[in-house]
Structure 1
């Protein structure tokens, strides 16, 4: 079946994308929500140039959905409608176990007349991280909660070693509570490695972010 992937550029949505393709489905687009005021993707902060790199590295066209916070759901449904025009019958999501998030996604899909799929659902957070590492995905740690994790993790790849550091700090390994965010740059779903440079580390009080461009 043809599908659109709700894509954040992070580890979970990248693994979900991989699983949907492995199951024989064909991607018609990466639906990316963009913060209209910052010109960067919501939550993972990828700018338009980096998003274009993702599209080329994955060989999947973008469906960009700029929005401000208050009309986020409307913009998302417009993106689903565009995907449906391209032939998508299902929309893929990287959610693992947060029921409210799943319900939100299902409501958007119901309004757009498309089926929601959750290939990582209830697989276990630590198991998802292990699979990402074991399958050879390269996911760069882009941001950390300064109260929970050391800034030294920024710019490093998610690996057995960095996961051990996270475990030693007692966080959820999948970062589902915002402990950290990643940007996926390589792995079995990529047609070519995403070329990137690491920029400066920016401190926003409770959170630190490294520029990836």
Structure 2
């Protein structure tokens, strides 16, 4: 397959696993793409960490600004990817509809005719998390929401015992409703593991998150 593709990159477990599965499926991944608001301040997906991931992956990273009206802004950015960067397929780590909304990226791709590949869509949640361990990903919790989690979860690595802990909580175990967010610090397609030398856990009214120094 010689389809030129880009992965929608947030730095978390889902986009990282989607990247890996798309590689196996034969997609020619040429770019990483992150949609961001003006002056982004990502709590869950630290841009400094994303830059380290990009270096470890070794692909160009496009940070595209989106602003209201959102659908038009996304459609315009996606058209740019197609026309200027000759990208034919967008790969997402989407697993399910969020709060019963349509697949947002697919909706925004219709106007330009961009193809979308969702390798994780509607897959078994336990299977996806187990997949990460089997394929030697190293993924940490970067943000966890109250009241499901306390601050001790921030920075923990997802392993089989953590999956069992997640099953005991009254949540989507993949965090699909925003219960938690993650960052991949190693993956089969990274040239090296990302080192987080020092970090603090910051408390917010509704969540705890990792601040990298």
TM-score, normalised via structure 2 length: 0.88
Aligned residue in 1 for 2:74 = 76
State the Cα RMSD in Å: 2.0
Match for residue 36 of structure 1 among 30, 35, 38: 38
Q: Displacement of 1:78 after TM fit?
A: 3.7
Cα distance in 1 for residues equivalent to 2:16 and 2:195: 16
Q: How far did 1:194 drift?
A: 2.3
2:27 to 13, 25, 28: 25
Residue aligned with 1:123, SS: coil
Shift of 1:132: 1.1
1:53-202 paired onto structure 2 within 5 Å: 53-68=52-67, 70-84=68-82, 85-98=84-97, 102-202=102-202
Distance 1:29 1:79 in 2: 14
Contact 1:33–1:66 under 8 Å retained in 2 = yes
Q: How many residues align?
A: 209
**Aligned 8 A contact 2:38 2:66 in 1:** yes
The 2-side partners of 1:89 and 1:104 are apart by: 18
Offset at residue 198 of structure 1 (A): 4.0
SS in 2 for 1:14: helix
Q: 1:95, 1:102 within 8 Å by CA — same for their partners in 2?
A: no
CA distance in structure 2 between the partners assigned to 1:7 and 1:76 by the alignment: 15
Q: As a proportion of its length, which structure holds more helix?
A: 1
195-204 or 110-119, larger mean C-alpha shift: 195-204
**What runs of 5+ residues in structure 2 fail to find an aligned partner?**
none
**How far, CA to CA, are the matches of 1:65 and 1:44 in structure 2?**
18
**Could you list the runs of 5+ residues in structure 1 that have no partner in the other structure?**
none
